[in-house]
Structure 1
Amino acid sequence: MRRFRIFTAIVAASALVLTGCGTADSPKTATPGASGALTPIKLQLQWFYQAQFAGYIAAVDQGFYQEQGLDVQLLEGGTDIVPQTALAQGKADYAIAWVPKALASREQGAGITDVGQIFGRSGTYQVAWKDSGITSAAQLKGKKVGNWGFGNEFELFAGMTKAGLDPGKDVTLTQQQFDMQALLKREIDAAQAMSYNEYAQLLEAKNPKTGKLYTADDFSIIDWKKEGSAMLQDAVWANTEKLSDPAYQQQTVKFLTATIKGWAFCRDNAEKCRDLVVAKGSKLGKSHQLWQMNEVNKLIWPATGGIGVVDEAAWKQTVDISMTTKNQTGDTVLKKTPEGLAYTNDYINQAITAAKSAGVDVNGTSFAPATVTLQEGGA
């Protein structure tokens, strides 16, 4: 996912710096800055290379950042990397982070602003075996419920709270690994999963009784979007203090313009982007990455207000859940309403205008998800 340390652990971590040099099939002509050179940019990702970040990988590969006069270097994430902290400490120029965790970092002093809400929808599920009878948050009562922790659990807790359950008393919470083995072995009754990653791992696993892969009919899904407890996830964050600098403002618009092109490219060329991600060194297989690309596109497209625009209602719901939902120890993500410039649509709207002028479909109204056939182990 994309997952990083618990929202209270705002600790500096050194990033593994991997160069995102363009390898476009048809390199674009760069638009250099006044000095004739491209402006170097570092983008800190949340997690290891996977299709969750395909739009940024494609924007590098296809030369979209170079068109804007930018030389973008992608910094791969990992378990000990907090993207928003790397941004706040000047180790990156922009970062990809989930909104509630980034807001928690802001509350503790990180000067960061959401300038592009790329994922307009949450991709978090709670998955159970179909024969368990669990189809809603209310039915988790008395069950053994897995979650990753590290601040990823608040949609689950909000859903249970909304259903009248006390997350600290009415269920047995279990620290879940970043895979689905505990559910497959029936060690837990319900497991946390991203629609684009861990859920696919279930469908890539072989049923030992039949020798065939499991299917969606073997499982039931609690989708927090339907339960009303979804929170905003992947966003592009910028340095708040630097946003007072006109040069950084212009750079941000250019960066977002190229990013929009990258995600539109992956919407229209899912298999090509799958290949780019695999070539980047992802440990996940081709069918898994194609599934992930397809599911990630669902979280972005269609984008009614334009890709990356922060929806006020979704933002408010995320903040409300962050302030009111308690975890098993009684802690909330936020203690108060975010202060200052927590988000702005100024730069993404300028980028949308620029992308539209270049002929890019920024809404994806006609986007239709594909049907992806998974292979064993995601091969």
Structure 2
Amino acid sequence: MTRTLRGAVAAALAASLLALSACGSDDDSSSSTPAAAAGGTTSTAAPVKLSKVKLQLQWFTQAQFAGYFAAVEKGFYKDAGLDVEIIEGGVDIVPQTVLAQGNADYAIAWVPKALQSREQGAGITDVGQVYQRSGTLQVSKKDADLKTAAALKDKKVGNWGFGNEFELFAGMTKAGLNPGKDVKLVQQQFDMQALLKGDIDAAQAMVYNEYAQVLEAKNPKTGKLFTPEDFTVIDWNEQGTAMLQDAIWANTEKLESDTAYQAQTVKFLEGSFKGWIYCRDNPEECRDIVVAKGSKLGASHQLWQANEVNKLIWPSPKGIGIIDEAAWEQTVKIAQTTKNQDGDTVIKKAPEGLAYTNEYATKALAALADEDTKGADFEPIEVALKEGGS
């Protein structure tokens, strides 16, 4: 609340109070900016209190999460009344578990992995389906001629495991292959060295990360970088076995009982969506933001990643964050029916309770009515990769 103080004594008192308040501040609040003084009168604005929020990522700092970093750096979360701390993920971090245990307010996780955690008791809900398409590929060298899942028969097929393999297994199953018998499965590291060395015939890759790594490597036959023409890619979106990936997950119990958390969720989605809209329109700047945050991969790699991630988000026909029911049902079906090499499925039955909701994303989109939240005219940029992604 702003209060106008009149008279010399009142003005002096206000100045004294302002000086005292500048000596220290509440960690939960941002400092106010005094209004311009006129005619010997000083106006002060009360501090704007920001709600502290923790966001748990599912992997290391990179442009896969550029929209969230942009929302912090450009002040979109602050505009929504939030002070957001982004927590980096890693190999041993399960973001949906961090969320379920109360150590984060929101988490980024792939839908099938999160559904598995829900089945095991995690109280989490998908409130914002940011990625509309899957980014998982199976990559092979051109001369191997592995253009379809059926062509993987009797080949050495790499996969990461840890729940990342089910699109591949669904693709092989759909093609009539028994993944446990008809191919030689190889545990793959989170890189492309096994493919480049010829130890495997087909490697799992994210279009925004590992696929770029092969294009950043030198072709020993030419002495120049590999090109897309040197490889064959199986895209699970085209094969009909894609699963929903990066989504924003919230605490189910709080969504059902805590009105403050409900309102906060709308504001968090609002800031996050605005961050992704900004990265759609400013990929180079978002690349710079991620690199400055300490990305372990270089500038050209991160620009490639920002561009490819944009392709997974945009266009969003119903608006960014809205969960498409058909894509959700396909993900659940694959998670429930596709078996891995051990005969296990991701989940045993269809998810129960509040597994997802579009309620909060819809409200956030309404608050962003002046923004282009669908990106129907989105066009990706051209990215020139450098050796090693530098």
Q: Structure 2 length normalisation: TM-score?
A: 0.88
SS at match of 1:191: strand
Which of these residues, 250, 253, 264, is aligned with residue 277 of structure 2? 264
1:189 partner letter: D
Deviation at 1:371, TM superposition (A): 1.1
C-alpha distance after superposition, 1:270-309 (max 9, x if no partner): 0000000000000101000000000000000001000010
Which of these residues, 281, 299, 303, is aligned with residue 286 of structure 1? 299
1:85 partner letter: T
Unaligned runs of 5+ in 2: 1-32, 34-45
SS at match of 2:368: helix
Corresponding position of 1:297: 310
Corresponding position of 1:366: 377
Deviation at 1:246, TM superposition (A): 1.0
Q: Which has the larger radius of gyration?
A: 2
Q: Distance in 1 between matches of 2:47 and 2:353?
A: 34
Deviation at 1:36, TM superposition (A): 3.9
Q: Once superposed, which parts of structure 1, at least 4 consecutive aligned residues long, lie more than 6 Å away?
A: none
1:127-166 map, 5 Å? 127-166=139-178
Corresponding position of 1:53: 65
**Does residue 329 of the first structure (1) align with residue 342 of the second (2)?**
yes
Deviation at 1:360, TM superposition (A): 1.3
**Does residue 107 of the first structure (1) align with residue 119 of the second (2)?**
yes
Q: Distance in 2 between matches of 1:60 and 1:36?
A: 17
Q: Distance in 1 between matches of 2:88 and 2:171?
A: 32
Q: Structure 1 length normalisation: TM-score?
A: 0.90
Corresponding position of 1:183: 195
Q: Distance in 1 between matches of 2:148 and 2:104?
A: 40
1:78 partner letter: G
Q: Distance in 2 between matches of 1:327 and 1:290?
A: 34
Q: Distance in 1 between matches of 2:225 and 2:48?
A: 55
Work out the percentage of aligned pairs sharing the same amino acid.
Answer: 72
Corresponding position of 2:365: 352
1:1-379 map, 5 Å? 36-244=48-256, 245-356=258-369, 359-379=370-390
2:301 partner letter: H
Q: Distance in 2 between matches of 1:136 and 1:202?
A: 20
Q: Distance in 2 between matches of 1:42 and 1:59?
A: 13
SS at match of 1:101: helix
SS at match of 1:277: helix
Q: Distance in 2 between matches of 1:57 and 1:230?
A: 27
C-alpha distance after superposition, 1:4-41 (max 9, x if no partner): xxxxxxxxxxxxxxxxxxxxxxx9xxxxxx98421000
1:130 partner letter: K
Deviation at 1:189, TM superposition (A): 0.2
1:378 partner letter: G
SS at match of 1:145: strand
Corresponding position of 1:15: none
C-alpha distance after superposition, 1:52-89 (max 9, x if no partner): 00000000000000001100000000011100000000
CA RMSD, 1 decimal: 1.1
SS at match of 1:283: coil
C-alpha distance after superposition, 1:200-254 (max 9, x if no partner): 0000000112110000110000000000000000000000000021111100000
Q: Distance in 2 between matches of 1:334 and 1:159?
A: 18
SS at match of 1:96: strand
Corresponding position of 2:9: none
Q: Distance in 1 between matches of 2:375 and 2:130?
A: 13
Aligned length: 345
Q: Distance in 1 between matches of 2:203 and 2:231?
A: 11
